Amino acid sequence: MLKVTKSLLLFLLLSPYLLFADGHIFVYHRFDDSRYPTTNISTRELRKEFNYLKKNGYKVVPLIDIVNKINNSEEVPSKWVAFSIDDGFRSFYKNGLKVFKEYNYPFTLFIAVKYTEKNYKDYVSWKQLKEISKYGTVEFHSYGHGHFGQMSNEKIKADMDRGLALMKKHLNYEPSLFVYPYGEYDSRVEKVLEAYNFKAVFNQNIGAIHGGTCTDANDIDRSAVVGSNAHDFKLYLKFQELCGVHFQEPTTYPKDRVVKRVVVTLDDKSIKSADIFISNNGWTKVKVHNGKIIWNANKTIKLNRIKIGVKVKSRIKLMVLSK
């Protein structure tokens, strides 16, 4: 009896943490290539991050393990982390791969097929991809890495079909995972991609993966870590996914580059305040009334691709709008 009470007490004490312990997916691009500081990480920094995971009991799993949890409507276990690498830059093959091998950490490389097919010098070759696929999986990131938001449905389909055919031809592989070029998408683009039946589609919005009924397999968040910001890496690991978020305004990129109003509804009606993020403007604290945020922001934006986000304590959700 005493034992039961004790363990029940322990369960109640721990349960808030268990409930919000989400998985995380990180994305990298270039390794030890300081020519491109906004997409590069040094292998020294990468080792620091990997050591942090080792020391703090994180489990690095193949990306597909997280996808399977989401597709089975199961919650992603506490402290699961998965790694993805975008574009197929040669610096991954030259510098990054050996660190992943050293730590025996699985990874998924998303390639923009055109760069490999046309032998661009900064990108991996088909031969190198075959070697890479002994240690991780190679998945799909379009053929031409275009701005899907600005391409017609027909153009998007032609691009997808061309890339997939080349992957089949050179790697004898039919990808089941996809990443939007530039992390750009909208409901039209999402609809075009539905025909391809990917097990999961990923964006590049900072966030966490709760799983269960919270995470949309066709819109999975990944956090990019660049430069020497192991600090950001640790911060991102603390985030949980804010579930039940519905972005209502704005729904398109504002032509005059002013975000006039932000309207968001939250399923959790008990939330009284939140922080709203707008690119170029940082975070602002706002009030929530009965699950609704209506904020007359009037914020000027400069980037052609902006993110708008909501944060409640350490739970976070972002979305992207492109010009």
Long-range contacts of residues 72-78, Cβ cutoff 8 Å, at least 24 apart: 73/211, 73/212, 73/213, 74/211, 74/212, 75/210, 75/211, 75/212, 76/22, 76/23, 76/209, 76/210, 76/211, 76/215, 77/21, 77/23, 78/17, 78/18, 78/21, 78/22
Tell the smallest beta-carbon distance from residue 161 to Zn ion (Å).
19
Q: Pick the closer one to Zn ion by CB: 179 or 276.
A: 179
- Is 87 a binder of Zn ion (CB under 5 A)? yes
| Sign of the dihedral defined by the CA atoms of residues 64, 67, 72, 77, in that order | positive
Please choose, out of 32-40, 54-62, 81-89, 146-154, the segment that lies near Zn ion by the rule CB under 5 A: 81-89
Tell the smallest beta-carbon distance from residue 31 to Zn ion (Å).
15
Neighbours of 235 (CB within 10 A): 13
> Do β-strands 305-312 and 315-322 pair in parallel, antiparallel, or remain unpaired?
antiparallel
Q: Pick the closer one to Zn ion by CB: 49 or 86.
A: 86
Q: Pick the closer one to Zn ion by CB: 205 or 240.
A: 205
Residue 275, CA atoms < 13 Å, CB-side half-sphere: 11
Please choose, out of 84-92, 251-259, 265-273, 298-306, the segment that lies near Zn ion by the rule CB under 5 A: 84-92
| DSSP structural state of residue 204 | -
Tell the smallest beta-carbon distance from residue 85 to Zn ion (Å).
10
> Do β-strands 80-87 and 299-300 pair in parallel, antiparallel, or remain unpaired?
unpaired
Q: Pick the closer one to Zn ion by CB: 146 or 212.
A: 146
Helix axes 43-55, 230-238, angle to 10 degrees: 40
- Is 184 a binder of Zn ion (CB under 5 A)? no
Q: Pick the closer one to Zn ion by CB: 86 or 221.
A: 86
- Is 86 a binder of Zn ion (CB under 5 A)? yes
Q: Pick the closer one to Zn ion by CB: 33 or 86.
A: 86
Helix axes 187-194, 153-171, angle to 10 degrees: 40
Q: Pick the closer one to Zn ion by CB: 109 or 318.
A: 109
**H or E segment and range at residue 192:** helix 187-194
Tell the smallest beta-carbon distance from residue 173 to Zn ion (Å).
19
| DSSP structural state of residue 257 | S
User: Judged by CB under 5 A, how many residues of this single chain contact Zn ion?
Assistant: 2
Please choose, out of 78-86, 152-160, 167-175, 310-318, the segment that lies near Zn ion by the rule CB under 5 A: 78-86
Sheet bearing 245-249, strands edge to edge: 245-249, 262-266, 292-295
Please choose, out of 85-93, 158-166, 215-223, 276-284, the segment that lies near Zn ion by the rule CB under 5 A: 85-93
Please choose, out of 39-47, 83-91, 213-221, 222-230, the segment that lies near Zn ion by the rule CB under 5 A: 83-91
- Is 159 a binder of Zn ion (CB under 5 A)? no
Site residues (CB under 5 A) for Zn ion?
A: 86-87
